[in-house]
């Protein structure tokens, strides 16, 4: 596919750049679950990680390459600095994939050259040329990024890109690393590259950008108009600082405004051919999965996937939508896979009906996962007469996508009221199987539970975020609790869902502590290995 392609390539970096968002750290199984869903979504390339960063990152990229990187699946990519060690490790990690890509980068802005790299422009050009050629010795699919391109001297940028393409880069990615540019500036930058890099027809122009000024999606759409044919984005727009360009917003922008964008891709305005390979009906489910596993909540007014995105409270709006949805809706909620929340199951429903409905919702569970989820479903159905699709999603996500099972919550009991001190008693099983019980007083019932859990677990941490969301309406609604803990300079998230908010709060806290405890155990193992070496 050349840079004049009539289709936009979607490069998803949720598992690499998205995971760099504080508190969004994922384990290998969680990364694999997201990668499988990204394949169902139809992304063209999955940037599965930064293989050189750690043994865990290497294993995650390798497992995704082996499991998801089939011949009919997405290309699996690993990021690598413009260094031989990085590139070799990246090559090893993507080797099991039918289609593998190495994405190497080096900064090109004067501020990065002076303060970070301490290199001259000539040295940067030579390094880019050499490292792209080295990456090319492992795979035909090599992507090159001049970091901080948005603040780089355009004339220097043209030189670097020309050399990188000559050395074998098949994609050149233009990052607005700090979210600095405006749409007209970014569009002009892409046009300048297309007009001034002599061999640009031998590579696809890609864009990567952050949302520090809230302009990432607008910048990308302007880039498409000026010749960019690959968009690097993340689910829900997660990522460092203010995040990345949001995949769902880009895809639905191109979907809804197809007639507007068609001519920029060499098509007739009335063409009905999709502009991307994305199955838009998988968008909502993918958004929920990423939100659940990362602990990063989606704001209610978030475009496309927020809970209010298709809600109407104004009487005028409601009247218009009832007469014709097009009066106030520019897209159908079903186009992103959002159902009407119909009641589908109850406490008398059997395992087969349960499995069938989960299949319709897009879940492909193993027998063991199905058994765990079905037991939990029956438990909830005894407390809640009507089980909606949203309830089912919460049950399944909570049951099969848990943190490492180290500390296990056995009992939580609270006593509180207007003239009493909130008191909680908790019992947990330790990783060694020992049952420990303790009690504590707090400012409220949840605080008391957390104080009691901390007395049992004894792992230093600071609670920095606590949030509760109702999955559905009604007094018997399942509540989803998401928390984030900080230990030193790292953030760990936990999530749980239950009809009892206190139980959900306790389990979410234990999930986060298990992630923290697992991290500490792994750190100790690595230190022992280092000492032996």
Domain boundaries, the chain: 9-294, 306-338, 343-400, 408-530
**Spatial distance between the Cα atoms of 186 and 478, rounded to a whole number of angstroms:** 44
Q: For the domain covering 9-294, report its CATH number.
A: 3.20.20.70
Directed axis angle between helix 389-400 and helix 351-360, to 10°?
A: 100
Dihedral sign, CA of 244, 112, 205, 224? positive
- Concatenated DSSP letters of 304-343: TTSTTTT---SHHHHHHHHH-GGGT-SS-GGGGT-----E
What is the pLDDT at residue 341? Answer: 46
Which residues of the chain are under the pLDDT cut of 70? 1-5, 23, 311-329, 339-344, 362, 385, 400-404, 473, 526-533
Question: What are phi and psi for residue 437, nearest 5 degrees?
Answer: -130, 140
Give the separation between CA 337 and CA 268, rounded to whole angstroms: 28
Give the per-residue pLDDT at 318. Answer: 43
Hey, what are 267's tokens?
């098509």
Closest by alpha carbon to 276, among 260, 259, 252? 252
> SS in 3 state form for 488-525?
CCEEEEEEEEECCHHHHHHHHHHHHHHHHHHHHHHHHH
Tell me the HSE value of 104 on the side-chain side, using a 13 A CA sphere: 34
pLDDT of residue 317: 43
Give, to the nearest 10 degrees, the angle between helix 351-360 and helix 367-383: 100
Q: Which two tokens stand for residue 23?
A: 């508190």
- The sheet carrying 479-487 orders its strands as 462-470, 479-487, 490-498
Is the model's pTM score more than 0.75? yes
Interval 482-498: pLDDT, tens: 888 998 878 888 888 88
Helix, strand, or coil here: 285?
A: helix
- Which CATH architecture best describes the domain 408-530? 2-Layer Sandwich (3.30)
φ and ψ of 109, to 5 deg: -75, 150
Strand pairing report for 45-49 and 9-12:
parallel
């Amino acid at each position: 596919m050349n840079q004049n392609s009539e289709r936009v390539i979607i490069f998803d970096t949720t598992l690499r750049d998205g995971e760099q968002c504080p508190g969004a750290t994922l384990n290998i199984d969680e990364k694999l679950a997201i990668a499988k869903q990204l394949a169902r979504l139809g992304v063209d390339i999955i940037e599965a990680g930064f293989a050189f960063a750690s043994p865990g990152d290497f294993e995650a990229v390798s497992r995704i390459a082996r499991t998801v990187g089939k011949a009919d699946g997405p290309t699996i990519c690993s990021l690598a600095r413009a260094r031989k060690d990085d590139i070799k490790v990246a090559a090893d990690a993507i080797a099991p994939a039918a289609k593998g890509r190495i994405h190497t980068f080096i900064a090109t802005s004067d501020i990065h050259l002076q303060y970070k790299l301490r290199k001259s422009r000539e040295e940067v050009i030579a390094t880019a040329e050499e490292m792209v050629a080295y990456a090319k010795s492992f795979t035909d699919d090599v992507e090159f990024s001049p970091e901080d391109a948005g603040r780089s001297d355009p004339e220097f940028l043209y030189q670097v890109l020309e050399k990188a393409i000559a050395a074998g880069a098949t994609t050149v990615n233009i990052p607005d690393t700090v979210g600095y540019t405006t749409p007209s500036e970014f569009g002009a930058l892409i046009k300048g590259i297309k007009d001034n890099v002599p061999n640009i027809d031998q590579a696809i122009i890609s864009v990567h950008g952050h949302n520090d000024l809230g302009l990432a999606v607008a910048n990308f759409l302007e880039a498409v108009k000026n010749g960019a044919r690959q968009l690097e984005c993340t689910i829900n727009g997660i990522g460092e600082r203010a995040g990345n360009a949001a995949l769902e917003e880009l895809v639905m922008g191109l979907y809804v405004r197809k007639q507007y964008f068609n001519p920029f891709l060499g098509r007739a305005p009335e063409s009905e051919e999709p502009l991307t390979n994305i199955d838009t009906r998988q968008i909502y489910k993918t958004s929920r999965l990423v939100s659940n596993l990362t602990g990063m909540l989606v704001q209610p007014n978030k475009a496309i996937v927020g809970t209010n995105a298709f809600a109407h409270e104004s009487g005028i709006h409601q009247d218009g939508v009832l007469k014709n949805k097009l009066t106030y809706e520019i897209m159908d909620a079903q186009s992103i896979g959002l159902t009407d929340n119909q009641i589908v199951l109850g406490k008398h429903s059997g395992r087969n009906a349960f499995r069938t409905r989960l299949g319709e919702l897009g879940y492909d569970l193993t027998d063991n996962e199905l058994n765990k989820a079905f037991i939990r479903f029956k438990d909830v159905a005894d407390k809640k007469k009507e089980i909606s699709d949203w309830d089912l999603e919460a049950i399944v996500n909570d049951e099969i996508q848990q943190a490492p099972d180290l500390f296990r919550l056995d009992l939580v009991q609270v006593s509180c009221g207007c003239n009493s001190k909130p008191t909680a008693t908790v019992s947990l099983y330790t990783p060694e199987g020992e049952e420990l019980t303790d009690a504590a007083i707090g400012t409220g019932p949840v605080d008391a539970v957390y104080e009691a859990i901390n007395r049992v677990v004894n792992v230093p941490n600071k609670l920095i975020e606590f949030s509760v969301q109702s999955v559905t309406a009604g007094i018997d609604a399942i509540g989803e609790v998401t928390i984030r803990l900080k230990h030193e300079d790292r953030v760990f998230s936990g999530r749980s869902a239950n009809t009892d908010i206190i139980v959900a709060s306790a389990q979410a806290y234990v999930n986060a502590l298990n992630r923290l405890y697992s991290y500490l155990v792994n750190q100790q193992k690595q230190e022992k290995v280092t000492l032996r070496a």
